[in-house]
Structure 1
Amino acid sequence: MRGMQSFLKAADASAYQGDEQVRNLVKEIKGIAYDSEDMVDTFIFQVASRGRYGALKRYASIFDEWIDLYKTGRKIQAIQKRIHSITNRWKTFNIKNIDEGEGTSSANQKQQQLRRTYPHAEEEDAISLEKDMEALVAQLITEEERRRVISIVGMGGLGKTTLATKLYNHSLVKRHFDCRAWVFISQQCQRKDVLQAILKRVSRNTKEEMERMNEDDLVEKLYEVLKEKRYLVVLDDIWSEETWDLLKNAFPINGKVGSKIMITTRNKEVALHADPFSLPHEPRCLTDEESWVLLCKKAFPKDVVARGDFLDADMERLGWKMMKKCGGLPLAVVVLGGLLATKKSLYEWEKVSKNCNIHLSEGQLQQQGVLGILALSYHDLPYYLKPCFLYLGLFPEDFEISKGQLIRLWVAEGFVTLQDEGEGEGTMEDLAEKWLEELIFRCMVQVGRRGSNERVKTFRIHDLMRDLCIKEAKVDSFLEILHDGGHMEVADSFSNSVAKARRCAIHLEDNMNVPWDQRSSHLRSILFFKTVVNEINIGFGKRQMISICNKFKLLRVLDLGGDIPFRRLDREIGSLIHLRFLGLRDSFELELPSSLGNLRGLQTLDFKLYDPPLGVRPVCKVPNVICKMKQLRHLYLNPFLDSGHMRLDTLSNLQTLYDIWAGSWIEKDLSKLINIRKLKIWFTERKQVETVLESLILGLKSLSFIFSNEFSSDKTFPDLKPICRCNGLSKLRLYGRIENLVPENNPFPLNLTKLRLNDSQLEQDPMAILENLPRLKILLLGSNSFIGKEKICSTRGFPQLELLMLSVLGELEEWRVEEGAMPSLRHLNIRYCQKLRMVPEGLRFITTLLELKITGMPENFKDSLQGLDGRGGQDLYKVQHIPSITFLD
């Protein structure tokens, strides 16, 4: 199996990718690899199943064991015969060693010729993004001593080349530079050809003279020519840092003042590598209105568009519907418009609308569809990133994907291995996060929300990129998607591949019934996604759960997606011994069987309950079998589970322990959890807090997330001073009364980036302490965290704070902000502070503020900002510089 993986990796990196024989060979070997994996995992399941019987039955099953061994041996022999057969055919067809990287590149050369760009071929109907143009023209004509690189970065089809062409031909740019050159790079960069193309534009050397020069001579000659001129060189479609390194020595760094290089690339890392001091420009997607204008320009003659009466209501409705599928990607809009230009009737438009995705995939744009252009980014991915990208196709359209959840799934799927973890990259989760960042840098996924430490929290994938995931995944039997009552999102022509699909995503809808009997028993992953909001998933129940457990014995990932409509998890769950990820979110009444302890390889067990009500006691127990899961890395419980009795001392790999009730395990086991990173505990006694604080000093130095509390009797914290010794702590949440919060007894570590206080009942203003935390970016002062009347933010206080929330501070009357306080504040949220008379005068000095939200405040407070007529009140001048001000009841 390792040999087959090595071959597939080498084939992926070779120049043979376009060869039909090699593609078939790779597909066949992938099939053998899948069958080998199934055979091994099935044998492991058989052995483990025998181990669950008593002694007498175990002796009686020796004969069955011999039979299983014999059958497995025969399967191995059959696989070896298939491998020998492939090897013989390989020799018969005279295919060279794939490792050598030699092969025909005619397909690549043709593709490169079709995609070649020229500076004179300016897009006539492009949507002009004036602000982008103004900013970039200003950068290009700025006279700086050192050569600068201006980068335009974005996903394929976003209009990078179109924008670069407009800039190249801009009148101010033409006048500013002594010479200009445009060269198309692409993935197969031929250094000599590129250097000759630039030299041809900026010098008088003849073709014959340049042909006689070797690459070193060309570099030297080009350097000498450019040194005496203010030059602009455009490198269009540069893919790798290595390509830049091959070319950069030809461009003088300290030549004539104001010289520039402009590059377009799909990889932000390339841009930052070329010039780390220049911020890459990332064009945005088009708005719906801009997309509509572009579509009409492409679909209709200019004189017709000018009249504005060219569409009836039905055609306009269809046009908007199809335009929405383009997701603001200019390339997709252009392809769709070109197609509609040949369709004149409503009937023809309806036909295009029904197969819009197919037309976008196969539309003719230089003989490539939109997905063909986007696929270049996929094929450029390193081998280890390709399955990570394809995995994103399992998620529904427009789904906000949690970074942490995805990373745990990648690890469970085996994309990141323990061997990777041992190569100095930190944990498997750290490496997976690095890979996700690489996909972001390559513009293949879009960032959603970032945390206080600027790490990505959520992200999305463009609809057309998702279509690419699904298209590429079909070829490798990588996944299938079920929705609309069992309808497959995968095309029928790939039914044979789907029959062997390794992963299945169920996009649940009302009354959906999944045909499990038609699904392959070799599935490794089943993920449920609820796509209908506020509807009960009637089609999935206990019987379907038992069916999953009985049929899919090789499952590694089972994510039920939350809101499970049954109260008792069947004991058959214990038969899924290969399971590494079990997701049972939002299941606060679910009873768990003791057979859960059979899942010895489980890495993630997720019972997380979002927004649990405070003070609610647990209603059901977790069996004390978690300690058997020695591979467990992430344990998400919820406050409704009576978890305080659990034994955890064997879980040395545990990184996340979330929403667990305090109990005897604190004294016995907490200090043994040496890899803990995230910890959230619910308490009932003050003494338990003291015990945890002692453990924090002794064993939990890498703690970095949450420490929260809710008491049933005494709500007062003991001395929190030990927390400040947790130098790795970056996020802290405290629920409960805090005494003596004074500078000399400050419990907060200096590395803290996020702090939330609830029910702290602080009588003295905590700002004098909190504003001195140098890295604090998010401060959430919740209900009754402060019961005083006056709060002051001092000059130079909160140097890094970006988000501040004041919520349900019932006694707060006056809040003063001195000039120079909170110089980085971007978001301010004031909620239900009923006695607060006005916004602080000092807000007018905070020029970084982007958003002010005011919720549940008295009418006089709102009137001081809005005025009775909505034209502004007496305090409006304090906040009128803020772009977004919203008032909510």
Structure 2
Amino acid sequence: MGGIGKTTLARKAFNDPYTVYHFYCRAWITVSQVYQARDLLLALWSSIAQSTDKMVEKSNAQLAEIVYRRLKGKRYVIVMDDLWSSDAWNDVKRCFPDDENGSRIVVTSRFKELATNVSPKKPPHCMNLLNIEQSWELLEKLIFGTASCPHELVGVGKQIAKRCRGLPLAIVVIAGVLSRDIGAYNCWNEIAEEVSSVVSTDPENCLDILALSYNCLPHHLKACFLYMGIFPEDCEIEVSKLINLWAAEGFLYLNSEKQLEQIGEDYVEDLIGRNLVLVEKKRFGGEVKTCRLHDFLRELCLKEAQKENFMHVIQRRSAKGVQAGTRNQRRLSFHLDPYSHATTAPAIPHVSSFVCFTLGTDIVPDILFFQLGFKLLRVLDVFFLHFDYFPVQILKLIHLRYLALYVTYELPASVSQLRNLQTLVIHGPWLCQESGGRPTLLLEYWSMPSLRHVHVTVACHLKNPFTVQDNLPRPFASEHLQTLYTIQFSSCTKEVFSVMPHLKKLGICETKEDYSIDSFSQVLNNLVYLQELETLECSFHTQNREVRRILGLALLPVTLKHLSLSWSYLPWKYMTSIAMLPNLEVLELKNYAFQGPKWGPTEEGFRSLKHLLIENMALIHWEATIFRHFRCLQHLVLKSCKLLEKFPFGVENLQRLEVHYCSGPIENSAKEIQEEIEGIDVIIRSDRFQHSA
């Protein structure tokens, strides 16, 4: 049954360090009740190759052949989670070559008959409900960790555990409720009585148990939780996007001490702590990158949202759902098939969010702008809808706060009319004629007083906020702008940065058009105007391999907490300036960010560094001692450092060590640490099969 722990068990085996080391290729795909074979094939390729570039143009047969060839001759493990029909298995099984080399395929399903069909020679492993002792052990561990439950709560605690009927999901969720009131006997007793009243002999009534956790949420978190139901089943939800959507809807209550983004992060952590939201991925540095809802919890979202008239989800293969039940809805989410045809719809004037997870353009002309009659729209996410032109109707959405588009055209300057816009997300192969093929943001961003986040997937050129005739700032500076990705080096000017003094995250990319030998020095000179910058991601043009004459590296803002460099080919002597950044916690050095065979850090530096990534570098001798040169370092990752001869002394003092595709001596040393040193999490990924790739 759902929530019994199938996915949890599979994920623990999948992520176990020995599994990571043993299998050359690992892939995890979630199937679910409603699936498309193409989605499964793309997910397989994305897991194996870490990219889907140019794959969207392939047919299903071509994708299957590409996946088969990538797996051929390699030892792999594939997990197909939440399988509901034999059709899904039949659609992808031809992708898996059987070379009798110990490869494995793991399938989770609620149906024993389906499992037997998938693997007729091997009986399935049937999960059992927990007994009373196991239930109490799990509940106590989730609430108190390694400590013991207070004696006065043991009796009522065991009563609660017993009434969860052995369902791990119910126990986990109830633990999230109880952990908020540790030691409150009356609260525990009330929950015990409620559990008893809603749990019958049918364990599928778990939804009522989950509702207990929802009912215990404060009012502001209820809205945030229900809003997560707009995403499709088993969707991996990007936390930063979720927070921006919450902000656009007005769910985040601003106070004088914290900004909107910090409040949103607190809300996410609260929902995770209550076990209503599951962590999917973390960023290098420890922050939660993506999350997801368990199937049961999403069902609860949809149930409560329908009850409260909070949201309407139009499911795949049900375009008729647009016709009914939507008139008074506040939020719409489309999960249609790409070939669905929905050509009529009633006007829906009160909608505040319109989010579409539908590929194609069939629903655009008749539904999206002309018939729905949006007047109060705050969120418009149509990334999956491909327009050949900018829909001018968007300019009439004066309340719009969140806009996500997939574009193949120049974004008009008239977007600046959206004075309430907080987040602008632009994807796609952006075509531009006026700037010679390089996209340009023509919008007058400095005159958009609410703008907080700009995400552009292609390195673009920003329009200068000053003109020759006017050397003064515009009346409305972009005081709230927090995030800007991705702009060219040539846009990193004094004029651009001076109108965004509170910028915290910046992504810049050197292009062939703006390359010069001292381009980075010019950028650094202007970073002085970003006095609150915390994250800087900088990538240079890969074809330019000259040694750079960078004189201003010491001008990096002292506020930086996260720095990422790629393709810069800097001499190691310039690392001294980076090492002296007092607040730097995360450092990512990728693709020859520094060059030279020897790196000897200074003892005075890296006072706050906790996470260090070195990837694809020609480093041979790393002459350092962790507890002297990297006193706070917790997490070290080495990737594709094939020339490195040995670790710096003292890596056994780390909390986590990862070695991917490095030299034999480094791998052997990591294995010794893994076997001999307790308290350090060691992950090793070997490239011994790389010749067959």
Q: How does 1:355-366 map onto structure 2 within 5 Å?
A: 360=204
Per-residue CA deviations over 1:403-454 (Å, capped at 9, x if unaligned) read: 11011001101112xxx43x32311221122122222222221222233443
TM-aligned CA deviation for residue 470 of structure 1: 1.2
RMSD value, Cα: 4.6
Structure 2 Cα separation of the partners of residues 519 and 129 of structure 1: 56
From 189, 208, 225, the equivalent of 1:372 is: 208
Q: Are 1:559 and 2:559 counterparts?
A: no
- Distance verdict in 2 for CA 1:823–1:508, change over 3 Å: farther
Corresponding residue for residue 604 of structure 1? 423
- Distance verdict in 2 for CA 1:521–1:733, change over 3 Å: same
Q: How does 1:7-18 map onto structure 2 within 5 Å?
A: none
Corresponding residue for residue 440 of structure 2? 621
Q: How does 1:598-677 map onto structure 2 within 5 Å?
A: 598-607=417-426, 619-639=438-458, 641-643=460-462, 645=464, 650-663=477-490, 666-677=493-504
TM-aligned CA deviation for residue 670 of structure 1: 0.5
Contact 2:508 2:539 in 1 (8 A): yes
Q: Are 1:525 and 2:353 counterparts?
A: yes
TM-aligned CA deviation for residue 738 of structure 1: 1.3
Corresponding residue for residue 83 of structure 1? none
TM-aligned CA deviation for residue 803 of structure 1: 4.7
Q: How does 1:16-415 map onto structure 2 within 5 Å?
A: 126-127=130-131, 133=137, 161-162=161-162, 238=178, 241=181, 244=183, 338=202, 360=204, 369-415=205-251
TM-aligned CA deviation for residue 799 of structure 1: 5.4
Corresponding residue for residue 331 of structure 2? 503
TM-aligned CA deviation for residue 593 of structure 1: 2.5
Q: Are 1:749 and 2:578 counterparts?
A: no
Name the SS of the counterpart of 1:689 in structure 2: helix
**Which structure shows the higher strand fraction?**
2
Contact 1:237 1:265 in 2 (8 A): no
Relative contact order, CA 8 A, sep 6+: which one is greater?
2
- Distance verdict in 2 for CA 1:467–1:595, change over 3 Å: same
Contact 1:450 1:458 in 2 (8 A): yes
From 370, 386, 403, the equivalent of 1:547 is: 370
Q: Are 1:442 and 2:270 counterparts?
A: no
Contact 1:600 1:629 in 2 (8 A): yes
Contact 2:670 2:684 in 1 (8 A): no
Contact 1:606 1:635 in 2 (8 A): yes
Name the SS of the counterpart of 1:578 in structure 2: coil
- Distance verdict in 2 for CA 1:724–1:605, change over 3 Å: closer
Corresponding residue for residue 599 of structure 2? 766
- Distance verdict in 2 for CA 1:744–1:503, change over 3 Å: closer
Structure 2 Cα separation of the partners of residues 149 and 751 of structure 1: 46
Contact 2:530 2:557 in 1 (8 A): no
Structure 2 Cα separation of the partners of residues 779 and 458 of structure 1: 21
TM-aligned CA deviation for residue 675 of structure 1: 1.3
Name the SS of the counterpart of 2:537 in structure 1: coil
Contact 1:817 1:842 in 2 (8 A): no
- Distance verdict in 2 for CA 1:802–1:506, change over 3 Å: farther
TM-aligned CA deviation for residue 560 of structure 1: 1.2
- In structure 2, what residue type is equivalent to 1:766? W
Task: Pick which of 401-410 and 515-524 moved more.
Answer: 515-524
Per-residue CA deviations over 1:299-343 (Å, capped at 9, x if unaligned) read: xxxxxxxxxxxxxxxxxxxxxxxxxxxxxxx99x986x748xxxx
From 778, 782, 791, the equivalent of 2:615 is: 782
From 356, 377, 398, the equivalent of 1:577 is: 398
- Distance verdict in 2 for CA 1:841–1:440, change over 3 Å: closer
- In structure 2, what residue type is equivalent to 1:510? P
Name the SS of the counterpart of 1:551 in structure 2: coil
Structure 2 Cα separation of the partners of residues 468 and 508 of structure 1: 21
From 649, 654, 669, the equivalent of 1:824 is: 654
Structure 2 Cα separation of the partners of residues 407 and 599 of structure 1: 20
Q: Are 1:844 and 2:672 counterparts?
A: yes
- In structure 2, what residue type is equivalent to 1:763? G
- Distance verdict in 2 for CA 1:551–1:769, change over 3 Å: farther
Corresponding residue for residue 707 of structure 1? 537
Corresponding residue for residue 91 of structure 2? none
TM-aligned CA deviation for residue 511 of structure 1: 0.5
Contact 1:397 1:463 in 2 (8 A): yes
Contact 2:443 2:463 in 1 (8 A): no
Corresponding residue for residue 83 of structure 2? none
Contact 2:524 2:552 in 1 (8 A): yes
Per-residue CA deviations over 1:258-294 (Å, capped at 9, x if unaligned) read: xxxxx7999xxxxxxxxxxxxxxxxxxxxxxxxxxxx
- Distance verdict in 2 for CA 1:431–1:761, change over 3 Å: closer
Q: Are 1:693 and 2:524 counterparts?
A: yes
Contact 1:765 1:788 in 2 (8 A): yes
Per-residue CA deviations over 1:219-252 (Å, capped at 9, x if unaligned) read: xxxxxxxxxxxxxxxx9975754x846889xxxx
Contact 1:686 1:716 in 2 (8 A): yes
- Distance verdict in 2 for CA 1:541–1:621, change over 3 Å: farther
- Distance verdict in 2 for CA 1:450–1:143, change over 3 Å: closer
Per-residue CA deviations over 1:640-693 (Å, capped at 9, x if unaligned) read: 544365669721110011101233561213033121110111233455533432
Corresponding residue for residue 537 of structure 1? 360
Contact 1:624 1:645 in 2 (8 A): no
Structure 1 Cα separation of the partners of residues 348 and 415 of structure 2: 24
- In structure 2, what residue type is equivalent to 1:438? D
Structure 1 Cα separation of the partners of residues 441 and 176 of structure 2: 59
- In structure 2, what residue type is equivalent to 1:528? C
Structure 2 Cα separation of the partners of residues 665 and 838 of structure 1: 40
- Distance verdict in 2 for CA 1:854–1:751, change over 3 Å: farther
Structure 2 Cα separation of the partners of residues 236 and 591 of structure 1: 48
Name the SS of the counterpart of 1:706 in structure 2: strand
TM-aligned CA deviation for residue 769 of structure 1: 5.4
Name the SS of the counterpart of 2:538 in structure 1: coil
- Distance verdict in 2 for CA 1:792–1:660, change over 3 Å: same
Contact 1:644 1:665 in 2 (8 A): no
- Distance verdict in 2 for CA 1:143–1:801, change over 3 Å: closer
Structure 1 Cα separation of the partners of residues 687 and 499 of structure 2: 45
Contact 1:645 1:665 in 2 (8 A): no
- Distance verdict in 2 for CA 1:688–1:459, change over 3 Å: same
Corresponding residue for residue 638 of structure 2? 806
From 590, 597, 601, the equivalent of 2:409 is: 590
Aligned residues: 529
- In structure 2, what residue type is equivalent to 1:506? F
Question: Could you state the TM-score of these two structures normalised by the residue count of structure 1?
Answer: 0.52
**Which structure shows the higher helix fraction?**
1
Structure 2 Cα separation of the partners of residues 742 and 626 of structure 1: 35
- Distance verdict in 2 for CA 1:387–1:567, change over 3 Å: same
- In structure 2, what residue type is equivalent to 1:595? S
Q: Which runs of 5+ in 2 are unaligned?
A: 1-127, 167-173, 430-434, 467-472
TM-aligned CA deviation for residue 514 of structure 1: 3.8
Structure 2 Cα separation of the partners of residues 547 and 375 of structure 1: 38
Name the SS of the counterpart of 2:214 in structure 1: helix
Per-residue CA deviations over 1:483-535 (Å, capped at 9, x if unaligned) read: 22344779x9xx55x321011011142312344523523211111125xxxxx
Name the SS of the counterpart of 2:638 in structure 1: strand
Identity of aligned residues (%): 25
Name the SS of the counterpart of 2:306 in structure 1: helix
